[in-house]
Amino acid sequence: MKDQNAFAETASRRNFLLGVAAVAALPTLPAVSLAQASATPSPAPGSPEALEIDALMTIVNLRFGSYLKSEEVPLVRRSIERQYASVDTLRKVPIHNDDMPDLLFIPDGR
């Protein structure tokens, strides 16, 4: 009975919502972003991928430069580099015209 009372005291809507907010904030932590960013190698300078990333960074700086801090710019660049690495990984998977998708969306539930 004592354990149930202790649980009832700590279990509340407020504690639940605080937990949900904490879980939602986890992807925005800088340590997680830096750990993921360091795992992806950057493309070779002068390669087409590096030139595209430079062009995208120019667009980001023109559109959002006033909102970005100087320490956030390398994180944005690493994020773009990770997206290019993901695209390369997806392109390595052979897909044929007769391959069906894993999930078919049927809007009326049939």
Per-residue model confidence (pLDDT) at position 49: 80
Question: 76 exposed, middle or buried (CB, 10 Å; 0-12, 13-18, 19+)?
Answer: middle
Q: Break the chain into its structural domains and give their ranges.
A: 40-93
* Torsion-angle region of 83 (φ positive above 0: left; ψ -120 to 50: alpha; else: beta): alpha
Which has more pLDDT, 22 or 56?
Answer: 56
Per-residue pLDDT averaged across 90-104, rounded?
81
For the chain, give the mean pLDDT.
Answer: 74
Which string of DSSP letters, residue by residue, matches the chain? -HHHHHHHHH--HHHHHHHHHHHHHGGG-HHHHHHHHHTSPPPPTTSHHHHHHHHHHHHHHHHHTTT--TTTHHHHHHHHHHHHHHHHHHHTS---TTPPPS----TT--
Confidence of residue 75 (pLDDT cuts 50, 70, 90): very high
pTM: 0.51
